[in-house]
Amino acid sequence: MTLVDTDAWVEVGLTADLMTDRGMAALVGCHQVAVFRLGDGSIHAIDNHDPISGANVLSRGIVGDRAGVPVVASPIYKQCFELATGRCLDDPWLPVRVHHVRDADGRLLVRLGTAVPESG
């Protein structure tokens, strides 16, 4: 098991490899992250682990919006998670962690977030 300093930026691929409105799974140390590029060019990263099904599948979810808020719907039970906050819109007691992500001269970098957002 490889531990990652939560202050470290880890290269997970090339920004050009991200398809618009599709997810990409990445491994940061031993932590699975789902990375998304939206139609407006923004890039988001959340846990790949779906807390409802228990599977690492959020990177395969359907990207869209709910009332103008960018979300990904889990491919298993279809709960929607806000990409900016990690909040589950269908069950606020089951949020996912949001991670820092940036484009550094075409390289896609992720830094693990430090806490799961508060529920409720």
pTM score over 0.75: yes
Instruction: Note every long-range contact of 13-22, with CB atoms under 8 Å and residues 24 or more positions apart, other chains counting.
Output: 13/107, 13/108, 14/106, 14/107, 14/108, 15/43, 15/103, 15/106, 15/107, 15/108, 16/106, 17/108, 18/43, 18/108, 21/63, 21/64, 22/63
The pLDDT tens digits for 11-53 are 999 999 999 999 999 999 999 999 999 999 999 999 999 999 9
Summarize pLDDT for 54-110 with one digit per residue, the tens. 999 999 999 999 999 999 999 999 999 999 999 999 999 999 999 999 999 999 999
Domains of the chain: 10-111 (2.102.10.10)
